[in-house]
Structure 1
Amino acid sequence: MKVKYFGDTDTLYIEFREADVRETSDLDENTLIDIDHEGQICAMAIEHVSIRADISHFSFEQIPAPDLTKT
């Protein structure tokens, strides 16, 4: 997953996985969803993100999955 912020356009782009985009759909006026050839979401773009979210306090935390093999 990649997260990119474009300050010149105030756009946050979240790429969930690399894929060839088949189509881009509007979720709302300022949110776009990229769909791959299998119909799965592969990325999302949020425009005017500084107004719509608290981008200045963005953080990322990876939570490890529990080991389900232990009983």
Structure 2
Amino acid sequence: MYWCQVNNKYFEDTDATLVELSDNIVSETCQIDEKISIGLDAEGELASTAIEHASTQANMREVAFQRVMAED
């Protein structure tokens, strides 16, 4: 199983959040709506998500991560 590090970056000056889901370079950006876009790598796999106006679109005061292990 492949695990990667997920990086969350909040840019206070532009009120934008970037969630990097892989180390792959984004080769194409697709606009989901006027505030959300996704970045795809060269193979079309999801590499990042960007949220504009993040303070009104998501609770950016605190970001938490929880890994839920699969049950056998």
| TM beyond 0.5 | yes
Normalising to structure 2: TM-score of the pair? Answer: 0.82
Aligned to 1:33: 38
1:13 paired with 2:21, answer no
Letter in 2 for 1:25: C
Structure 1 stretches of 4+ moved >6 Å: none
Q: Which has the higher strand share?
A: 1
Letter in 2 for 1:34: G
Percentage of matched positions with identical amino acids: 36
Aligned to 1:23: 28
- Secondary structure at the counterpart of residue 64 of structure 1: coil
Q: Which one has a bigger Cα radius of gyration?
A: 1
Normalising to structure 1: TM-score of the pair? Answer: 0.83
Query: Unpaired runs of 5+ in structure 2?
Result: 1-5
1:12-43 CA distance string (max 9 Å, x none)? 10011111211111010011110111111110
- The alignment yields a C-alpha RMSD, in angstroms, of 1.2
1:53 paired with 2:58, answer yes
Letter in 1 for 2:63: F
- Paired residue total: 67
Equivalents in 2 of 1:16, 1:65: separation in Å?
A: 20
